[in-house]
């Protein structure tokens, strides 16, 4: 069973059902039922046209559900006869689905969550972890969002800024390695940039390319995390870096700064340094100051504390960190790093161990545990 193929086809099939008249919630349910059928049937009877098979089965599932529910009789006017099987259309509705999920009637958080679930293919658990909320809470949010856009026409797009946040979350989820959606997020952002002449769309594309360029160097052969300062920069994708920088420079020249452009500028400064020691931390702090003006994100303040620690010394970094909520993910790990830089090895070892207990994934936990063990060995 080709799970990647199913993931790629799902948004297209969902879009086609919505275009045929199925409301979003019913269409997604039907597609999910068809995917389960595919998992059962395809290993022994692989279809010649996987997309066409999914469209046909999903439509039948939708018809069955419609006819079985008297409250939905009104939809039968749309589906008096089932279309005869035909070659699957070549149109890609994925981007249009992102806009549907970013409908103005939804809150930004609900729009992002719904898109990640219905189009991005992430599980409710993964989305809940991204939002730092309990899984049942996220499940309710997604269900409410589906009900909200039920009956919305497919030609009523949502907010571009929300679509950008959706794409960025999808990219970050893929970049983390749990679900590999980074390449898909870049593809969709390229399409968005081709259709919308806006510097923030370009800024997001540049940011993705600059981060993705470092992907090969982020992990060691044994799967362990490699911090940015220790990465083999010879493994960075220079072509992606050059493209990202060119896109960013064109966007910044329009003098309409946004948060994605500012983040991309920070990423470009990291990419420009031939070695970690050559990183222009002073400029990076200045860009974080600009970013802080654009968004009140605590993550920005946390990352700024790291940059201040590099530019002005670890004690200055610790002072900046003191103003950041200590319940924030990675706060303890940042504190450990800055205390180690300041020569307080014992405190740093303790904080690394505490950070490991709070880590969101096994790779991060293993990295922090190794850091604690390394410093504990020095203390002894």
Query: Does a structural domain hold residue 194?
Result: no
Q: Residue 360: which domain range?
A: 320-380
Query: Does a structural domain hold residue 348?
Result: yes
Structural domain ending residue among the three candidates 41, 67, 91: 91
How many whole angstroms separate alpha carbon 235 and alpha carbon 233?
Answer: 5
Query: What local confidence, expressed as pLDDT, does residue 112 receive?
Result: 81
Structural domain ending residue among the three candidates 91, 116, 140: 91
Domain count across the chain? 2
Query: What local confidence, expressed as pLDDT, does residue 156 receive?
Result: 58
Query: Does a structural domain hold residue 335?
Result: yes
Query: What local confidence, expressed as pLDDT, does residue 72 receive?
Result: 47
Query: Does a structural domain hold residue 345?
Result: yes
Query: Does a structural domain hold residue 284?
Result: no
Spell out the residues 6+ positions from residue 322 whose beta carbon is closer than 8 angstroms to its own: none
Residues of the chain with pLDDT under 50: 72, 88, 177
Query: Does a structural domain hold residue 277?
Result: no
Query: Does a structural domain hold residue 240?
Result: no
Query: Does a structural domain hold residue 378?
Result: yes
* Cα atoms in the 13 Å half-sphere on the side-chain side of 355: 27
pTM: 0.77
Structural domain ending residue among the three candidates 30, 62, 91: 91
Candidates 363, 309, 361; CA nearest to 340 is 309
């Amino acid at each position: 069973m080709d799970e990647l193929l199913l993931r790629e086809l799902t948004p297209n099939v969902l879009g086609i059902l919505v275009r045929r008249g199925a409301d979003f919630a019913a269409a997604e349910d039907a597609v999910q039922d068809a995917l389960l059928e595919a998992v059962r049937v395809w290993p022994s009877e692989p279809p010649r046209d996987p997309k066409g098979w999914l469209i046909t089965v999903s439509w039948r599932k939708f018809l069955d559900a419609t006819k079985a529910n008297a409250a939905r009789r009104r939809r039968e006017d749309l589906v008096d006869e089932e279309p005869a099987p035909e070659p699957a259309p070549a149109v890609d509705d994925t981007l249009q689905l992102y806009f549907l999920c970013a409908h103005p009637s939804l809150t930004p958080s609900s729009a992002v969550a719904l898109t990640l679930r219905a189009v991005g293919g992430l599980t409710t658990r993964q989305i809940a972890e991204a939002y730092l909320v309990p899984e049942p809470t996220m499940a309710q949010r997604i269900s409410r969002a589906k009900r909200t856009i039920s009956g919305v026409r497919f030609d009523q797009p949502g907010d571009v800024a929300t679509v950008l946040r959706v794409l960025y979350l999808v990219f970050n989820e893929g970049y983390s390695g749990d679900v590999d959606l980074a390449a898909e997020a870049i593809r969709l952002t390229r399409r968005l940039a081709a259709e919308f002449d806006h510097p923030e769309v370009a800024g997001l594309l540049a940011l993705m390319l600059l981060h993705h360029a470092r992907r090969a160097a982020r992990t060691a052969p044994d799967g362990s995390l490699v911090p940015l300062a220790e990465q083999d920069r010879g493994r960075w994708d220079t072509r992606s870096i050059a493209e990202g920088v060119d896109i960013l420079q064109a966007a910044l020249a329009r003098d309409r700064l946004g948060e994605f452009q500012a983040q991309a500028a920070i990423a470009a400064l990291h990419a420009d340094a031939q070695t970690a020691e050559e990183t222009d931390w002073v400029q990076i702090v200045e860009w974080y100051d600009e970013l802080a003006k654009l968004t009140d994100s605590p993550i920005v303040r946390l990352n700024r504390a790291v940059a201040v620690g590099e530019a002005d010394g670890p004690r200055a970094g610790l002072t900046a960190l003191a103003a950041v909520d200590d319940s924030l993910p990675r706060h303890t790990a940042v504190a450990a790093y800055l205390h180690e830089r300041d020569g307080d090895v014992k405190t740093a070892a303790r904080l690394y161990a505490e950070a490991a207990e709070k880590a969101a994934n096994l790779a991060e936990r293993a990295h922090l545990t190794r850091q604690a063990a390394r410093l504990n060995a020095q203390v002894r």
